[in-house]
């Protein structure tokens, strides 16, 4: 229950694996009730997930309770880095301390991304749903917002621990995350502020939303940030399309690369050799593993196609837009060595992988190791093929690395077969006629018997 119009904090619940699906959803209502009893707002933020309309006809889902979550507080397709959601909700409800912003999530990576900025988390084992031990931990620590021991992946059989370790860091001492206004560019999940199950004529009791000057000016899924970008980003990650992010031997590390860039405060862009528009390539992105298509990670105007092999002009355009004065902080991720060489000649950086292999894990690690000083000279390599991704090695790896090897092998096979055929014909011509006739006679006798 709200006290004098002021909230004590916000409980932000994940969807899949936590509240809408999972091994058990028996304790979701316990968690919701605990948050309401502590005067915490209840909100929803899912990396993918479903819109609020999914709750219609789902009376058994506790998170879909009537009047529980404001429509403007139901975020879906928010991406793996939910810092921007917590920051927005914190401003909306005028929460002063970040440890009063609590993310309930079953995915370790998503929790870690917000914990480093001083926000609180409550965990469960992966895809297990909210756990009773997590609810107990929230209730035990809510008085002083002490939730740092609630990030353990509670398994079904674990009891709530009696010992409570001290928080490793005072949340007040954690510097605020660098603002990234384009984080919500691909999707803005806040329609007009109404409450689920309450007619639109009834005004919400929540504090007003932030000023429209800090938000997209439209509620459509294609809304983009219309403000300025000055002094916002530390650099730019420009990703190729075919062979790197939209197709390739393995795309499982594309998400890691995007997360690494966002964590380093680098803007995201797409600069394709050819490729299609964002509307075409990402029309059914949620059905595949095209992480580059997820909404909210980039300004949709930064999706370029038909750049050709020399992408330096577009990289220069992006550097001007985001006021990046050091060219080495503009990084092209591309699987074609020619593209990287031509684009990096003016001084831009490049991170490579073998041809049509997608992004290599080693490339992501190289970016993480060097983004602060922006010295990516060690990252422009094409022989990287991650063993952990199941990529082949040895001769087949060389084939993937250079397309010309495949052509040479195919030509060699054709030449060998032609030589064998020619030698066989020549040997048959050189045999004495009586041997050939004898063979025919023996074959005829066998057929008769």
Average pLDDT score over the chain? 75
Distance, CA of 35 to CA of 421 (rounded, Å): 80
Distance, CA of 204 to CA of 423 (rounded, Å): 88
> With contact defined as beta carbons under 8 Å apart, do 367 and 377 qualify?
no
> With contact defined as beta carbons under 8 Å apart, do 31 and 59 qualify?
no
331: Cβ contacts below 8 Å, ≥ 6 apart: 235, 236, 237, 238, 261, 266, 348, 349, 350, 351, 367, 376
Residue 200: its pLDDT value, please? Answer: 33
> With contact defined as beta carbons under 8 Å apart, do 53 and 228 qualify?
no
User: Is it the case that residue 86 has pLDDT exceeding 50?
Assistant: yes
- Asked which of 74-78, 272-276, 440-444 is least confident by mean pLDDT, the reply is 440-444
CB half-sphere exposure, 371, CA atoms < 13 A: 25
Q: Phi/psi of residue 12, each to 5°?
A: -110, 115
Residue 227: its pLDDT value, please? Answer: 31
Tens of pLDDT, residue by residue over 176-233, are: 443 333 333 333 333 322 223 323 333 333 333 332 222 222 232 322 323 333 347 8
E strand intervals along 74-185: 74-75, 101-105, 120-123
Angle between helices 28-37 and 132-141 (to 10 degrees): 10
11: Cβ contacts below 8 Å, ≥ 6 apart: 31, 32, 35, 40, 41, 42, 43, 102, 104, 138
For 70, counting Cβ atoms within 10 Å of its Cβ (0-12 exposed, 13-18 middle, 19+ buried), the class is: buried
> With contact defined as beta carbons under 8 Å apart, do 360 and 354 qualify?
yes
Q: Tell me the residue length of the chain.
A: 449
Distance, CA of 249 to CA of 355 (rounded, Å): 9
User: Is it the case that residue 385 has pLDDT exceeding 50?
Assistant: yes
Distance, CA of 348 to CA of 360 (rounded, Å): 20
273: Cβ contacts below 8 Å, ≥ 6 apart: 240, 241, 242, 307, 308, 309, 311, 336, 339
Task: Identify which of 231, 257, 290 has the alpha carbon closest to the alpha carbon of residue 376.
Answer: 257
Residue 167: its pLDDT value, please? Answer: 54
Residue 286: its pLDDT value, please? Answer: 54
Kindly give the pairing relationship between strand 235-239 and strand 101-105.
Answer: unpaired
Task: Identify which of 393, 382, 376, 305 has the alpha carbon closest to the alpha carbon of residue 336.
Answer: 382
- Position 356 confidence tier, pLDDT thresholds 50, 70, 90: confident
How many percent of the chain have pLDDT more than 70? 70
* DSSP bridge partners of 123: 105
Residue 40: its pLDDT value, please? Answer: 97
For the record, the structure tokens of 364 come out as 């992501």
- Position 285 confidence tier, pLDDT thresholds 50, 70, 90: low
Tens of pLDDT, residue by residue over 33-68, are: 999 999 999 999 998 778 888 888 888 899 999 889
pTM reported for the whole predicted model: 0.45
DSSP secondary structure letter of residue 335: S
């Amino acid at each position: 229950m709200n006290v004098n119009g002021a909230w004590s904090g916000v409980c932000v619940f994940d969807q899949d694996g936590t509240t809408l699906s999972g091994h058990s959803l028996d304790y979701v209502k316990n968690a919701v009730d605990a948050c309401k009893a502590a005067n915490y707002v209840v909100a929803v933020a899912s990396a993918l997930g479903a819109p609020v309309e999914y709750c219609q006809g789902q009376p058994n889902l506790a998170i879909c309770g009537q009047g529980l979550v404001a429509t403007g507080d139901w975020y879906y397709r928010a991406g793996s880095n939910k810092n921007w959601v917590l920051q927005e909700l914190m401003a909306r409800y005028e929460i002063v301390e970040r440890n009063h912003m609590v993310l309930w999530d079953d995915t370790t990576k998503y929790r870690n991304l917000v914990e480093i900025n001083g926000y609180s988390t409550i965990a469960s084992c992966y895809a297990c749903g909210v756990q009773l031990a997590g609810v107990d931990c929230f209730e035990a620590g809510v008085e002083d917002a002490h939730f740092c021991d609630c990030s353990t992946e509670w398994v079904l059989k674990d009891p709530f621990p009696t010992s409570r370790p001290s928080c490793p860091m005072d949340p007040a001492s954690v510097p605020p995350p660098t603002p990234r206004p384009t984080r919500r560019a691909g999707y803005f999940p806040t329609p007009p502020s109404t409450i689920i199950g309450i007619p639109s004529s009834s005004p919400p009791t929540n504090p007003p939303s932030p000023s429209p000057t800090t938000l997209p000016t439209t509620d459509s899924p294609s809304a983009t940030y219309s403000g300025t970008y000055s002094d916002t980003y530390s650099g730019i990650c420009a990703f190729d399309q075919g062979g790197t992010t939209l197709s390739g031997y393995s795309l499982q590390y594309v998400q890691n690369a995007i997360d690494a860039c966002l964590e380093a405060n680098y803007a995201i862009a797409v600069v394709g050799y050819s490729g299609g528009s964002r509307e075409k390539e990402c029309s059914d992105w949620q059905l595949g593993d095209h992480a580059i298509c997820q909404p909210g990670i980039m300004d949709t105007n930064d999706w370029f196609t038909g750049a050709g092999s020399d992408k330096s002009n577009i990289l220069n355009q992006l550097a001007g837009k985001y006021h990046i004065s050091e060219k080495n902080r503009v990084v092209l991720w591309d699987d074609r060595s020619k593209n990287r060489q031509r684009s990096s000649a003016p001084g831009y950086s490049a991170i490579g992988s073998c041809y049509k292999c997608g992004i290599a894990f080693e490339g992501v690690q190289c970016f993480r190791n060097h983004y602060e000083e922006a010295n990516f000279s060690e990252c422009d390599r094409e022989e990287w093929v991650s063993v952990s991704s199941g990529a082949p090695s040895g001769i087949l790896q060389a084939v993937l690395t250079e397309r010309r090897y495949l052509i040479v092998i195919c030509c060699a096979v054709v030449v060998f077969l032609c030589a064998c055929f020619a030698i066989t014909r020549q040997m048959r011509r050189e045999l004495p006629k009586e041997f050939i006739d004898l063979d025919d006679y023996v074959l005829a006798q066998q057929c008769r018997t």
